[in-house]
Structure 1
Amino acid sequence: MTDAEIRTERRRAARALLAQPLMTSGSEEFRLVRKHAGELAAWFTHETGWRLLVDTETARLYKTPARLDDTTRPARAPRTKVAFTRRRYVLLCLALVVLERADAQITLGRLAEGVLTAAGDPVLSASGIEFRMDRREERSDLVAAVRLLLEWGVLHRVAGDEEAYLSESSNDVLYDVRRRVLAALPAATRGPSTVEATDPDRRLVELTREVAPDTEELRLRALRHRLTRRLLDDAVVYYAELPEDEHTYLVSQRYAITRRISELTGLVAELRSEGIAMVDPDDELTDVRMPEQGTEGHVTLLVAAHLATTDGGHTEPQLVELVRQLAVQHRAYWRKSAAEPAAAAELLAQALGRLAALDLIARSGETVTAKPALVRYALAAPTVRKARSRS
């Protein structure tokens, strides 16, 4: 195998890990990750501080996020792509608790019983969280959590179907519990049982806290790790939003850092005065795309163009009215329901959510402000050239 072929394989494996940090056996990508595990583990350790563990069944890249306050990329139901609610997140965590203590196989009914028992904890009750599985809507939240575990490979369906359980809870589903995958889920830097903080935000900080550098070499390495993580994870890294030490380091090392990322992943650095974006020419390493087809995609593009070409902030009511006007202008192309009275607010919410996830806008209360990178979606005035006269 030539050096070029080896680099191509390693790049494919690295991209697969970035897109799916927890992989299970059975795919060509998993085979490539196992084949190049040594080189990949060394790169991620040196450049990001992330650990990569690979065995015969799983490959786990323990990604520690550069920012813990980013709410723009929630877990989503595998089929509907609807963002998880607080209730679904709690159900997911309770389901993991039950699975940790379960046998090698479990039914959906037994899992639901275990979740209901765990939900009786006084701490959960005091916070106003309670669960019942009497209605289809209530069971659908548990099913969304279970399907996410199926997608991750924690569970393997043996018999039955979740749709039947939704219709009638007496219809059960049988799963294998894949313990190696379950054990690989937590990406914390310390055991949860060692954290004494009770506030959820504080617990998250403690769970991911890393050892403070005590030498200049370690300090610079920590800076490189944080910045490389952000360039790999975030749509845009704005200089103005970085602490002074990270800003200074990135400005001086941006070419070296982005070159190393490009060599491994194939991402292309877009360097601008306001910051850096690592762009994927193949449009694969993103969970949010822009633009997209359909009514929602067109609305997002038009809202982006409006924000990019007008000065100052805009209130959400103003933008809702804009979407209503756009629905009239484009009624021949948008789906019919877009013209309904309540549709504009929903379409705007989806558009702003997508733009926020791509770090193209800032939101403060009901005010929406364009960020510098949004200018790429500005529509320039058309240039009309005069026809040459023929002599």
Structure 2
Amino acid sequence: MTTPLTEVLEGQRAAELRQAARALLKEPLLLAHGAHADEFRLVRQHAAELRDWFDRNTGWSLQADTEAVRLRKTPGNPSDATHPAREASRAAAPFTRRRYVLLCLALAALERGEAQIALGRLAEQVVMDASDPRLVEAGVEFTLERREERLDLAVVVRLLLRLGVLRRVAGDEDAYVSGAGDALYDVERRVLAGLLATRRGPSLVTAAAFEERITELAAETALESDELRFRAIRHRLTRRLLDDPVLYYDELSDAELAYLTRQRAFIVARIGELTGLVAEVRAEGIAMVDPFDELTDVRMPEQGTHGHITLLLAEHLAAAEGPVGPDELHARVRELAREHGGYWSKSAREPGLEPELAERAVAKLAALGLVTRTPEGVVPRPALARYAVGDTVALEAGTVTTSTAGTRGANAPAATTRAATTRKAKKK
């Protein structure tokens, strides 16, 4: 028989475990020193239980030592390219192909280097490695003589600083970019060693095509029994429910859909118990909604000019019956600028900026699972229906409102009315 004190202690332990799990989902790499030191200590305290849960339900491994904890996440959908790396915040520009290559070359140089390294020396190593004939054949070439190339390397270094791979000792990146100085860093080798989250070493991958190489990197071991195959399916489904804004049934294989149909209640209950996420089940799929609106790297609705444009384009796309081409989207942005430009920033009202504004909005909608891109144009997904404006309804004299398809009743929690419009943090 449990006592009130036992119940309190058990409730406190469960709350701490949930907080630790959420911290890992938000930041899969936590350091003992820095902005996430409190979360690091909490995860370390519950590392054994967290390691067991993630291994059993997602196949993700958790490494914890005195310096760092690292949840090695692999995506449920390896082909999802809607969440690129960024230097710092969500507003920062996404990584380009050049920056990704520079990141890999910089990590390789740091792995071979000393405990300290200057940015100029790191640049020399990157240029040397970039001369590899295979990179040249692929059209990759770096001299770092141009300012924009040095700026790309500086952005990569700032990402490594944020991750804790590097610690700045002296100087800064801006001085290097301008050619007026240099910077010196300590290399945190234990953090560097924990970055790689692949199941196989990249050198062992034999596929040539990009998507096939990604699939091989994250491939499971040979599945020679029904038990192993079912476990692999459970891992993929749980990963997607934790990472993706919405899991659509039509994106699943027959085996995955059959397994989810049988085990849905068990899977979502296990996720909810550990993380506090709430399952919203619809005819088209499932979304795990965060009532606290914390585990997300893309938000909608969002304040500001771009958030407003995204919301208005979502309304337009929700009413579409098929693909919407770029010309139509650009024309719609011009119309919106005439109607709502008074509320937008001055730069967003400049003529000719419509393609950039439309692309930014579509990129966010795609990242949230609300639209997909096809050669014919942008295609709305079922979850976008909540942004479709319905019929005007008279409430009382002089007052009107419009109904929105897909939303819940007025008494529903605000977070659940936005289900499938926020994506759980997808950092690798």
- Fold similarity call, TM over 0.5: yes
Higher mean C-alpha displacement, 77-86 vs 194-203: 194-203
1:375 and 2:385 matched: yes
Q: Hey, what does 1:105 align to over in structure 2?
A: 116
* Residue 67 (structure 1) aligns with: 77
TM-score normalised over the length of structure 1:
0.96
**SS, match of residue 165 in structure 1:** helix
The answer for the alignment partner of 1:177 in structure 2 is 187
Matching residue's letter, 1:17: L
Identify which of structures 1 and 2 has the higher relative contact order when contacts are C-alpha pairs closer than 8 Å and 6+ apart.
Answer: 2
Give yes or no for contact 1:78–1:144 (8 Å, CA) kept in 2.
no
| Aligned partners of 1:316 and 1:366 also within 8 Å | no
Distance 1:385 1:209, change over 3 A: closer
Q: Which residue of 2 aligns with 1:324?
A: 334
Partner of 2:215: 205
Deviation for aligned residue 1:313: 2.2
TM-superposed CA distance for 1:110, in Å, is: 0.3
**Match for residue 128 of structure 2?**
117
TM-score when scaled to structure 2? 0.88
Give the residue type in structure 1 aligned to 2:255. Answer: D
Given that residues 320 and 380 in structure 2 are in contact (C-alpha distance below 8 angstroms), is that contact kept between their aligned partners in structure 1? no
SS in 2 for 1:362: strand
1:161 and 2:172 are equivalent in the alignment: yes
Residue from 184, 187, 191 that aligns with 2:201: 191
Q: Which amino acid aligns with 2:256?
A: E
Contact between 2:220 and 2:232, CA under 8 Å: does it hold in 1? no
Q: Percent same amino acid at aligned positions?
A: 57
After alignment, is 124-133 or 35-44 more displaced?
124-133
Q: CA deviation at 1:222?
A: 1.4
Residue in 2 that maps onto 1:4: 11
Number of aligned residue pairs: give it: 386
Q: Paired residue for 1:128? A: 139
Contact 1:41/1:52 (8 A) holds in 2: yes
Q: Aligned runs of 1:335-346 on 2, under 5 Å?
A: 335-346=345-356
1:20-59 equivalence runs, <5 A: 20-26=27-33, 27-59=37-69
Tell me what 1:240 maps to. 250
Contact 1:13-1:36 within 8 A present in 2 as well: yes
User: Bigger CA drift: 302-311 or 142-151?
Assistant: 302-311
1:137 Cα offset (Å) = 1.3
In the alignment, the residues of structure 2 paired with residue 123 and residue 217 of structure 1 have an alpha-carbon distance, to the nearest angstrom, of 41
Post-superposition shift, 1:20? 1.3
Partner SS for 1:69: coil
What does the per-residue CA deviation read over 1:128-152, in whole Å, with 9 as the maximum and x for residues that have no partner? 2111222221110000111111111
1:211 Cα offset (Å): 1.2
Consecutive unaligned residues of structure 1, counting only runs of 5 or more, are none
Question: Matches of 1:56 and 1:371 in 2, distance apart?
Answer: 45
In the alignment, the residues of structure 1 paired with residue 225 and residue 10 of structure 2 have an alpha-carbon distance, to the nearest angstrom, of: 37
Q: Distance in 1 between matches of 2:376 and 2:156?
A: 31
Deviation, 1:88, is 0.5
Task: Write out per-residue CA displacement over residues 140-195 of structure 1, whole angstroms, 9 at most, x where no aligned residue.
Answer: 00001111111111111111111111111x51101000001111111111222333
1:360 corresponds to 2:370: yes
Q: Secondary structure at the match of 1:327?
A: helix
Contact map agreement 1:270 1:277 (CA 8 A) in 2: yes
Deviation of 1:241 after TM superposition, in Å, equals 1.2
Conserved? CA contact 2:106–2:126, under 8 Å: yes
Unaligned runs of 5+ in 2: 1-7, 398-428
User: What are the superposed Cα offsets for residues 256-302 of structure 1, whole Å, 9 maximum, x if unpaired?
Assistant: 11111011111111100100001111111111111110110000000
Deviation at 1:202, TM superposition (A): 2.9
Structure 1: how far apart are the matches of 2:207 and 2:390? 52
